[in-house]
Chain A
Amino acid sequence: MLARSAGRALAAFLAAVSLAGCATTAASHVTPFAAAGTQYTQAVEALLAKSTDLLVDANSRKLLQGLSLAPGTEELLDEQDAAMRENLTEVRLLRRQLDLLGEYFASLSALATSDVPQAFGDELGRTAAALDGVSTALRQTGLFRDAAAGQALVGDVGGLIVEGVRGRALERELERRKATIAEVLSIQERLLDALRNQVLADVEIDRQRDYDTEVVAPFETEDALSGDPQRQAWIDARRKLLTDPVLVEELDAAAAAARALRVAWAKVLVHRLTPGDVEAVVTKLEPIVANVAALEAARAADPGGD
C-alpha cells in the first residue's frame, strides 16, 4: 500500500518535472525575446515621431523657400496643410498599432517572468507544514518522517505543476500567434523602409542647397579656401553632407532590428533562441535608444528650446 502510494507520488513528481521542463524552456526563450520586442517598439515609436517632425518641418521650409521667388497665398498654405494633416492622421493611427504590439510584448513578458509558480510552491510548502502541525496536534503520526523535507517536496512539486501550467499557456500562445507576429514584423519592415525614403527625400532638398552653398560655391570662388580653417570647415561640411543623415541610419538599423526580431521569433517557436539572436536585435537598437535618451535629456535641460 505504502509502495503503491509512493509510486503514485513519484509518477506525479516526474510528470510535474517533465511539464516544468517544457515550461522553463518556453519561459526562458520568451523572456529575452519579449524584452527585445519591447525595446524595438519603443525605438520605432521614437523614430516615427522624429520622422513626422521632420516631414512637417521640411514642408514648412519648402513653403518658405518659395517666398524668395513670389509672395505666398492662403490657398498655397491650405493645400500643404491638408496634405500634412493626412500624413499626421496616418501617423497617429500607425502609432496605435505600435502601441498594440508593445502591449502584446508586455503581456508575453508578464506571463513569462511571473513569480507565481515560485510563490505558489512556497504557499503549498507552508500548507504542508500547517497540515503536519494539525496532525501532530491530533497526536497522530506525522505526514512525513522528515517534516521539513516533506514540506519542501510538496512546495517544489506544487511550484513545478504551476510552472507546467504557465509553460502550456505560453506554448499555446506561441502556436496561435506564430503567423501574426511574423506578419506584423514584416509589415513594420515596410513601414520603416517607407519612412526611410520619406526622411531621405525631406532632408535631401536642404542638403542639396547646403551643398551648393557650403561646398560648391567656395570651391568655385577664388581664394575662398586659401586658409587652413576654411579648408578644414569645407572638408567637414563636405563629409557631413555626403554621408547619410543620422535619422536615416537609425531607420536602417530599426529595419535590420525588425528582421532580426523576426528571425528570433522563428527560433523562439522551436526553442532554439540563443543569446546571440537577442543580441542581434538589441545591438541594432542601442544607438537609437541612446539618441532618444540624449534628446530627452536635452529637452529636459532646456524645456523651451527646439
Chain B
Amino acid sequence: MADDATFTKTELLAKLRDVEKQLYSRRVEKQVEPLPLEERQKFVASRLHLTAVIAKVNASLMRDIREDLEGQSASLRQGIADLDGSLRSLTSAKQWASAVNGVIGLLGRVVGLL
C-alpha cells in the first residue's frame, strides 16, 4: 500500500515537473512577454502555484520515506542500547580483573612481611 502511494507520488512529481520545466522555458516566456500586465500576472501566479504544489508533493514523498525510517527507529535504538550495554559489561569485567589484581598484589606484599 505504502509502496503504491510512493510510486504514485513519484509518477505525479515527474509529470508535474515536466510541465513546470516547459512553463519556465524561454520559448514560453517569449509568448507571454507581449501580453498585458494582468495576463502576465496571472501566468506568473499560476506558474508559481504549480511550483508550490510540486514542492508540497515532494515534501509529502519525503514524509512517507521518513515515516518508513521511523518505523525502524525503535529497533535501531534497541540495538544501540544492547551494543553499548555489552561494551559496558566487558569494560566492567576488565575493571573487576584489575581490582582483584590490585587486592592480590597488596596481599602479596602483606604476606611478604610475615
A residues at B contact (CB < 8 Å): 55, 59, 62-63, 65-66, 68-71, 73, 76, 79-80, 82-84, 86-87, 89-91, 93-94, 97, 100-101, 103-104, 107-108, 110-111, 114, 116-117, 119-120, 123-124, 126-127, 130-131, 133-134, 137-138, 158, 162, 165-166, 169-170, 172-173, 176-177, 180, 183-184, 187-188, 190-191, 194, 197-198, 201, 204-205, 208-209, 212-213
Contacts and interface: CB of A to CB of B under 8 A. Distances in A.
A87 B79 contact: no
A103 B25 CA distance: 45
Nearest to A91: B62
Contact of B14 (A83, A86, A89, A197): A197
Q: B-side binding surface: helix, strand, loop or mixed?
A: helix
A87 B58 CA distance: 7
Interface residues of B, number: 68
B70 A97 contact: yes
Interface string B19-33: 011001111010011
A51 B17 CA distance: 17
A69 B79 contact: no
B86 to A, nearest CB: 4
Contacts of A165: 89-90, 93
Given A116-B87, A194-B65, 5 more contacts: A120-B97, A130-B101, A134-B107, A176-B79, A212-B26
A8 B109 CA distance: 31
A198 B58 contact: yes
B104 A169 contact: no
B112 A100 contact: no
24 contacts: A55-B55, A59-B55, A69-B43, A76-B48, A80-B55, A87-B62, A100-B73, A107-B79, A110-B87, A114-B90, A127-B104, A130-B107, A133-B108, A134-B108, A158-B97, A166-B90, A176-B75, A177-B79, A180-B75, A188-B69, A194-B10, A194-B62, A197-B13, A212-B27
